[in-house]
Chain A
């Protein structure tokens, strides 16, 4: 596996506090372009916080203090004026399925419409492509007018995924995307992700250590708000440099 040297996201000394709780204690990390970058670690280790910083959804959490830099293509996201445009470039899938109270079609067309796409046939194409990529098309193609909230949990999760793919983001942040999806469908989506990574850098936060192992090109291990170890997935899993990493990937911890 050839790792590209072209950095897509550079995180420099990122510190995040929620009130008195320190969620990230100075993390520096480089995520190359065109890879799947896995982030693993026990609960409350700062994985999700890191993800939320990349498209600044961290700002929804009241009372958060952030310092440090998150550079996307060399530009600090915290200096970005047009945060809406940033969030269209950096897609995000949250762990709990959220079908917006709109039709399936409008759920997926939501972001493209906000981005100013009005042409019906273009929207049709985007909706079909995104739903196909999220492995949902066959199940909903005959009922695109159904209210998104009426799909099953797993379907809503894939709808969320389709929605985030609708604008072909250059970075896709997945936070536990497969938590509500059955294993067979998960495998199919993982295949799609492997294809997608050639034009979309994917940051994958997962509690399933094996998912990181089979999917990620690089893996970072977080524990207690710190980055413990990062490297290509193979060496992190087979030759971890840190004792903590070894215990975690072996399943002794967390």
Chain B
């Protein structure tokens, strides 16, 4: 039997507790308000600062001698050629999109399925075990994933499909998918959990099956959260560097099959920035690629935002 914590305090403490808010309210409240305000605005500040930094490094090339048409339409990436450097990122862009899309095609159904299972079908110990394991999966460093892709998945792909190299588009997508799944599962599960039980009961009480409840009631009710889950997954897939560097084969070409090696934008920056001469053309082009990545993520977020608002307002009219 433990006593009420308030009653166990001595009188002076109690008086002090009561006195603090009353005495300092004039000062504490605005201070806290400002602190919180700074926290909120800092997000915008950081994004702006990062953007400014990347733009500053990229600007001399971006507004200078970089041929933007060639940049976006050529697959010729020869940044270290001694005769003539060529900066065509089409293959890298296509590589990034392919790997990300394929990864999402695997991760979204798998992740949402797992979220539905954990939230709606599993109970007690099974649920706890699953949640802990999935959180553990999210905590695996990306270099370890790259290692698994290189040492385990690669040879496996060669053995099963007879592909000439094991590190390729397929390998990269699978690894990225596995990395995105934990995020999609935990955010998606939270979104489903947030749907009031009353919805489930009401629908079930009308004779709906559990599957009908999930598709017709839970998904519409949790759509914003589920979309956020998918978006975070996409963000991870597009932004991931280390694992894809090791898993995709790093060859600059537009893939013709699932088992062709590819190269992504992020992996290019990671592998070449260290060798590029600071302030040189190559160095600056890598920052232009950074801007492209920035733009891609921005567009994805913007589209998602519009979709969320669109889905919401359609029925409100």
Residues of A within 8 A of B (CB): 55, 57, 60, 62, 84-88, 91-92, 94, 96, 98, 100-103, 110-111, 114-115, 145-147, 150, 160, 163-164, 167
Contacts and interface: CB of A to CB of B under 8 A. Distances in A.
Contacts of B201: 57, 60, 94, 98
B315 A110 contact: no
B202 A94 contact: yes
B315 A114 contact: no
Interface stretch (B33-41, B203-211, B261-269): B203-211
Tell me which of A60, A100, A150, A163 has the highest count of chain B C-beta atoms within 10 A of its own C-beta: A100
B199 interface: yes
A240 to B, nearest CB: 33
A146 B202 contact: no
B208 A84 contact: yes
Given A94-B198, A98-B198, A145-B317, A84 B205 contact: no
B278 interface: no
A147 B199 contact: no
Given A102-B216, A145-B317, A110 B203 contact: yes
A88 B206 contact: yes
Contacts, number: 74
Interface in B99-152: 123
9 contacts: A62-B123, A84-B207, A96-B198, A103-B315, A110-B203, A110-B208, A145-B315, A150-B316, A167-B207
Contacts of A147: 315-316
B206 A87 contact: yes
A57 B204 contact: yes
Contacts of B205: 55, 57, 87, 91-92, 94, 164
Given A110-B216, A147-B315, A100 B199 contact: yes
A115 B196 CA distance: 24
Tell me which of B206, B209, B221 has the highest count of chain A C-beta atoms within 10 A of its own C-beta: B206
Contacts of B202: 94, 98, 100, 160, 163
Given A94-B201, A94-B202, A101-B221, A115 B315 contact: no
A247 to B, nearest CB: 34
Contacts of A101: 199, 217, 220-221
A111 B208 contact: yes
A223 B201 CA distance: 26
Q: Is the interface of B mostly helix, strand, loop or mixed?
A: helix
Nearest to B205: A92
B206 A164 contact: yes
Contacts of B200: 60
Given A102-B217, A114-B208, 4 more contacts: A60-B204, A110-B208, A111-B208, A160-B202
B212 interface: yes
B121 to A, nearest CB: 13
A55 B207 CA distance: 9
Interface of B: 123, 196, 198-209, 212, 216-217, 220-221, 315-317
A241 to B, nearest CB: 35
A254 B317 CA distance: 46
A94 B204 CA distance: 12
A112 to B, nearest CB: 10
Tell me which of A85, A101, A110, A163 has the highest count of chain B C-beta atoms within 10 A of its own C-beta: A101
Nearest to B196: A98
A100 B204 contact: no
A96 B202 CA distance: 10
B304 to A, nearest CB: 19
A30 to B, nearest CB: 24
Contact of A114 (B196, B199, B207): B207
Nearest to A114: B208
Contacts of A85: 207
A50 to B, nearest CB: 15
Contact of A110 (B123, B196, B206, B316): B206
Nearest to B221: A101
B203 A100 contact: yes
Nearest to B206: A111
A253 B10 CA distance: 43
Contacts of A115: 207
Nearest to B212: A114
Nearest to A150: B316
Contacts of B206: 87-88, 91-92, 110-111, 114, 163-164, 167
A103 B311 CA distance: 12
Contacts of B317: 145
A88 B315 contact: no
Nearest to B219: A101
B302 to A, nearest CB: 24
B204 A87 contact: yes
A254 B201 CA distance: 28
A98 B196 CA distance: 10
A163 B206 CA distance: 8
B220 to A, nearest CB: 5
B191 to A, nearest CB: 12
A87 B204 CA distance: 8
A145 B196 CA distance: 22
Contacts of A164: 205-206
